[in-house]
Amino acid sequence: MSRRFLSILLLALLILSSIDYGFLYAQKRYNEAPMLAELVRQGKLPSVDKRLPENPLIVEPIEKVGSYGGTLRFFIVGADWPTFTRTIGYEPLVRWSWNTDFTKVLPNIAESWRISKDNREFIFHIRKGIKWSDGYPFTVDDILFWYKDVLLNKELTPVFPEYLTANDRPMVVEKIDDYTVRFKFASAYGTFLLQSACVGAEYWLPKHYLKQFHPKYTDLNKLKELVKKEGFDVWYKLFQKKNSWYENPERPTLYAWKFTSLTTSAGKKIVAERNPYYWKVDIKGNQLPYVDRVTYEILTDVQVAIMKTLAGEYDLVDRMVITPETYPLFLEGQEKGNYKVRVLKPADMNIAVIQFNLNCKDPILRKIFNDTRFRIAISHAINREEIVNLLYYGLSKPRQPAPLEQSPFYHSRYANAYLEYNPQKANKLLDEMGLKKGPDGFRLRPDGKSLEITIEIAPDYRPDFIDLCEVLKKYLTEVGIKIEVKVESAPLRWQRVSANEHEATLWGGDGGMEVLFEGRYYVPTESSGWAIEWARWRKSGGKSGEEPPREIKQMISWYNEAIRASDLERQKSLMNKIFDMHYRNLYVIGICSVPDIISIVHNRIKNTPEWWWDSWNYPNPAPIGLYQLFIEE
């Protein structure tokens, strides 16, 4: 053996000895939860390496590598299905990081992607070997099933989703191979990648399971029998029920946990157990999630939720019970409840947005609400400084529903429009409208009836809305407008708003940071309580709903162009035009900014960051990665 050869051999050995085998180990050898290891020993599950994809997503835990076992404890109040999405139901193609600035995304189901220069085509490479929770392979065929057999099926999807269109033409989805898919648009769609990280952007369905409920794949006579047996009158209602991952435990998912026990009884618990085919591992090759199961206790009263949270009965709470009013309780109760607080940064731009229904079914109220002078008068009638000090502990500042100061879309004039508390100016504007006062001091409608407006609120979502509405009621009484407050559950409120049955409503100010993805207060969308019929018109391309006036059409056109533009400066220019119109017309009315909120994390829970966003499109707390939380008693 020559000296030259020996030198090369020694050099190679030195290089090999310096390699970090921990990283290679995470790629080739995997560990799993004891409960799954036992099932493997019993022959009920394949080995962990056969359950994971070729290239599992490697997660670096926020604090440290965790340990297996235990139960994450949550609650829901009433039929609060968004809690399921906000905890375990967020796995889109690409995802937000926990500390995102909403301008970039991370790989998730898709391990890589390529965007054409004209921003019309998006090619995604999904992880080869991902499996559904029942072990069936996940491929592009599941994406095509969602697109061709559900999205393009008029019975299942009467109106093609507006956010998946360009130039009023639906996107086209093409299969390149089993693990590569192309999304094509008729024109540039600069924000599609960011849209694909938002809540609900899961472009697939388990074809192998759901095709048994679809007439394209199942004998019609057999399907009719099944529809009748399940108590439905048409096949698509059965399909929709079977497709609900939080109502149907049989439906396969790609989430870290899968529901195994569902109940609607108060005091009982809904249970989700670990998905043995979950496709993420930590940096040491441990298959995630760390925690075995997740439970949701069903409650009917927010006050009960507050007391149980204070008693340390839940592990992570950042919704429903946390308001400025309850801050002192939760701050003082940390030691007794064995929990710590975290900062929850609001992406909302307003504590509450007053929405008078510009499409109101009552023609007289509709005419009043559509008069810009009325909306400006209402704004001047509100003493925001008093509200801030009385209800929000001086932690907020008066503002309209414009994007936040931290956003590149911030519009100072709109944010500060008509904030002055000036009842005299409000009365003058109402007088100019011809809304005369009757003997009792309240104003009369043009038909001689008392001007009485019902505002619908959902205190199960925001308990502070009750006190806020009582204060608003006092202010509006002072300018002669009678207000009635209708308290209802969040699902009922939404049902009535969606059916255009309301006169006015109050909701939180979504869209302070996610301006291009959450536009409900900027243009009519399906979540806009101020213009639901105009939203229907926009979504259907004019086939349903009501045709809006010229200026609203112009706003819609600008918005549609903005969300498809790839250049930030162009997006800002278009959105500024929209905010100029809001500045002049005040279509919706804000109260004040949202103070930093707090989250509550039980001391036994590890791997939570010091802060995260509060946003539906985020959707908190899911992006912090509940699969990497673990329990340390």
548 shares its domain with 431: yes
Q: Residue 314's CB: how many other CB atoms inside 10 A?
A: 23
What is the pLDDT at residue 219?
93
- Show Cβ contacts of residue 240 under 8 Å, excluding neighbours closer than 6 positions: 156
Q: How far is the C-alpha of 478 from the C-alpha of 541, rounded, in Å?
A: 43
Q: At 160, phi and psi to the nearest 5?
A: -65, 135
Nearest residue to 216 (alpha-carbon basis) of 236, 233, 240: 236
99 and 158 assigned to the same domain: yes
403: exposed, middle or buried (Cβ count in 10 Å: 0-12, 13-18, 19+): buried
Shared domain for 169 and 216, answered yes or no, is yes
Task: Kindly tell me if the per-residue pLDDT of 478 is higher than 80.
Answer: yes
User: Residue 363 belongs to a domain with what CATH number?
Assistant: 3.10.105.10
CA 490/CA 561 separation, integer angstroms:
32
Q: What is the pLDDT of residues 349-388, one digit of tens each?
A: 999 999 999 999 999 999 999 999 999 999 999 999 999 9
DSSP string, 283-349: TTSBBSPSSSEEEEEEES-HHHHHHHHHTT--SEE-SSS--TTTHHHHHHTHHHHTEEEEEEEE--S
**Residue 615 is encoded by which pair of tokens?**
């946003």
Domains in the chain, number:
3
Contact status, residue 489 vs residue 456, Cβ threshold 8 Å: no
Percent of the chain at pLDDT > 90 equals 82
What pTM did the predictor assign? 0.81
Q: Tell which of 226, 253, 280 closes a domain.
A: 253
Domain that holds residue 389: 350-590
Let me know whether 439 and 570 are in one domain. yes
Count how many residues are written for the chain. 633
d(CA 42, CA 139): 29
In this structure, the answer to whether residues 512 and 418 fall within a common structural domain is yes
Beta-bridge partners for 505:
355, 456
Q: What is the pLDDT of residues 210-233, one digit of tens each?
A: 999 999 999 999 999 999 999 999
564-616: per-residue pLDDT in tens?
Answer: 888 889 999 999 999 999 999 999 999 999 988 899 999 999 999 999 999 98
**Tell me: the pLDDT tens digits for 152-192?**
999 999 989 888 988 878 999 999 999 999 999 999 999 99
43 and 98: one domain?
Answer: no
Alpha-carbon gap, residue 361 to 569, rounded angstroms: 40
Tell me how far CA of residue 419 lies from CA of 390, 411, 415, in angstroms: 17, 15, 9
CA distance 69 to 37: 13
Q: Does 324 share its domain with 393? A: no
Whether residue 466 lies inside any domain: the answer is yes
